[in-house]
Each structure stands twice: as structure tokens, then as C-alpha cells.
Amino acid sequence: MTVMVREIKPEVRADLEGFAHVRHSALPFYVITPDSLAYDVAHFHPDARYRPLLAEEDGEIIGSAQVGLLHETPTPVQGFINVYVHPDRTRRGAATLLVRAAEEYLAGLGATRLLAWVLDEPGNRAFAEAHGYTAGRSSHFQRLDLANGTLPPLQDLPPGVELRPAADFADDPRPIFELDAETTADEPSEAGSAELADYEGWLENTWRHPLNNLDLTTIALVDGRPAAFTAARTDGGTRYTTGMTGTARAFRGRGLAKLAKNDSLHRARAAGYTEAFTGNDTGNEPMLAINKWFGYEICATEVRYVRELG
Ligand SMILES: CC(C)(COP(=O)(O)OP(=O)(O)OC[C@H]1O[C@@H](n2cnc3c(N)ncnc32)[C@H](O)[C@@H]1OP(=O)(O)O)[C@@H](O)C(=O)NCCC(=O)NCCS
């Protein structure tokens, strides 16, 4: 039984399927498909130097790692290493080999701070600590049963407010980019605030991403100006996940995030989606309160572990 680590070959369907299968088995609340992975490899921003790695044991794909640079955060140069091993194939050395390969690659790119999402279980935490990582901020995955649960009723729109699908902005998505950039900058994160400054990169990696569902994404406009949004991502099956929810600073506290997300969730349910997922920093009290109001329940917690390279 020999475990080896190598780069994914995006032209090989079995690699894409194996990677997505491992991720889905280890972290079912995270939406990924072989096609979305292929798209990421082809379209990730070049500055991210994205390199997904696989661990194989006798030809079977048993581990996966997303590896690259967080190019949208300010200095220091930060790298990400997200390692997941199939739950039936742990304790064979796959994660150790993945971490080693990822660290070598990122150090070679000049990264001085490494960030790794770690599912909050004692074995995973001990593994991260043994590799020199220290616990940072954490994040809750939350799940909403769209098929059997109840959603809050659709609300009446306040005067001057209208709701539109993102698809209505297909000719000129720039106002949605600006809203995303303003609100993403305020999202709490261990990596520091992200600066979305590259419109073309955003079009490629967010707007045109195959999981991004423009029909189910809802934009709330106030007097014709985009003020809040919730970005829907869907996997082509029955799973819906939130890419981002945000309200422009001048419009917060008026119920617009709830309004946009409620509209999107109602439309997702009507379109046949049965499960909705979302994830938030455990310090993001407004967003956690909003998600609780919808009926989301916490289903897992991940901790962002950090290693400073000397
Ligand atoms: C989180 C965010 C989307 C909220 O937008 P909003 O339009 O102000 O939200 P709403 O007005 O619809 O709902 C606000 C709710 O948050 C809750 N809330 C607000 N401040 C809170 C606080 N300090 N503690 C706990 N709950 C709070 C309340 O439940 C409130 O609902 P209520 O007024 O009906 O009681 C907005 O602050 C934002 O864009 N933040 C930055 C981006 C971000 O973190 N997005 C979420 C990550 S995906």
C-alpha cells in the first residue's frame, strides 16, 4: 500500500471525479462538482497560482488539497492549504504528504503565512497542531431543509424597494461587482479583509462560475440602485448554497439582506432544490441571526489554522 501525492490533471475526468468525491465525503456541506473543479483550475486568477493536489493509494484517489495564494488579501503573502482525506481512508499518511507538498509549493512562491481550514474534531485539530499550526477564527456551516422545513413567508416590499434576479444584469454586471466588493471587504475573516479590485477576474471567477446561478441570485434595489444581494450557487442537482450575502453600508439594518435571501430561497424551493447550505464566521452575529431566522441549523464548524513561516 503506497500513498503518493500529485497534481490534479484537469483533462482526466477520473481525477476531477475523485477529487470531488473525496471533498463531498469529507465535507458534505461544501458544494463542488467535477465541472466546477475543472472550471476553477482553468479560470482561477493567475496570481492565485492555484494547484489542487491529489493523494492516491494504489490508483485510488483518497485525499485532496486545494492549494494556492490568497491574492485578494493585503500583505503578508498568504497561502491556503485545505486538505481533506476520505473518511474511510484516514491514518495512511495521505494528509501528511499533502501538507508537505503544499507547504513546499507555497514557500517556493514566497508565502509567509499559511491558512488551513480544519474541521473541528479533536483528531483534525491535533493533526494541525502537530504540523505547527495555531487555531484562529472559526466558521459555522449551516443547513436548511428546503424540502421539509418551513421558510418565513415572503415579505411585502418597502416603498422604493424592488427585487430582481441577477440575470437581469447580464448586460452590465458592474453594479453587482461593486456591491460584492464593498460588502466582501466587511466580512470578518482570519485572512483579513478581501479587496475585490479586479472586475475582469470577478467576471471570470464569480459571475461566470458554473455553480453561480444568476436566475436564483436576488438583488434588492432601492430607488433603482443595487443595495443588497444574495448570491445563489447550485450544483445542477438539488443542492443550493450561498456564495455571499451583503448589504451596502448605507442600507444596513433595514431588512434588505433578509428580503433578498428570502426571495432567493423561496424561488430555489419552487425550482426543486431540497437542501440549502451556508457558512459564516462565528463572529458574524448579524448574518448568523439572519440565517437562524430562516431556520438554518449549524451542522459543522471549521477552524482556520494558521502557520507563520519564519
Ligand atoms: C450581514 C449583512 C449582510 C446584514 O445586512 P442587513 O441588510 O443589515 O441585514 P437585515 O437588515 O436584513 O437583517 C439584520 C438582522 O441582523 C441581526 N443583527 C443585526 N445586528 C446584530 C448584532 N450586532 N448582533 C446580532 N444580530 C444582529 C438582527 O437579527 C437583524 O434582524 P432584525 O432587524 O429583523 O432583528 C451586512 O451587515 C453585511 O453586508 N455585512 C458584510 C458582509 C457579510 O459579512 N456578509 C455575510 C457573509 S456571507
pLDDT of the residue at 72: 86
Helix (H) or strand (E) holding 99, with range, is: helix 94-108
Cell match 456541506: residue? Answer: 29
Task: Report CA(244)–ligand 1 centroid distance (Å).
Answer: 13
Q: Which domains does the chain have, with CATH numbers?
A: 3-111 (3.40.630.30), 144-300 (3.40.630.30)
Atom in ligand 1 nearest the alpha carbon of residue 245: 48
Q: What is the pLDDT of residue 69?
A: 96
Collapsing DSSP to helix, strand or coil, 23 comes out as helix
Q: Does the model's pTM come out above 0.85? A: yes
Q: Which three cell numbers stand for residue 46?
A: 493567475
pLDDT value of position 1? 72
Identify the pLDDT of residue 6: 98
How, if at all, do strands 53-57 and 3-7 pair? antiparallel
195's grid cell = 479587496
| Alpha carbon distance 159, 163 (integer Å) | 12
Q: What is the pLDDT of residue 232?
A: 98
User: Cell 500529485 maps to which residue?
Assistant: 6
246 Cα: distance to centroid of ligand 1 (angstroms): 9
Q: From the CA of 286, how far away is ligand 1's center (Å)? A: 3
Q: Which helix (H) or strand (E) holds 236?
A: none
Pocket of ligand 1 (CB under 6 A): 183, 186-187, 228, 244-247, 252-258, 280, 284-287, 289-290
Q: Whose CA is nearest to atom 3 of ligand 1?
A: 246
Tell me the pLDDT tens digit for each residue of 161-196. 999 999 999 999 999 999 999 999 999 998 888 889
Residue 234 CA to residue 34 CA, distance in Å, equals 13
- pLDDT block averages, 10 residues each, the chain of length 310: 94 98 96 96 94 97 97 87 97 97 97 97 97 98 95 97 98 98 94 89 96 98 98 96 98 98 98 98 97 97 94
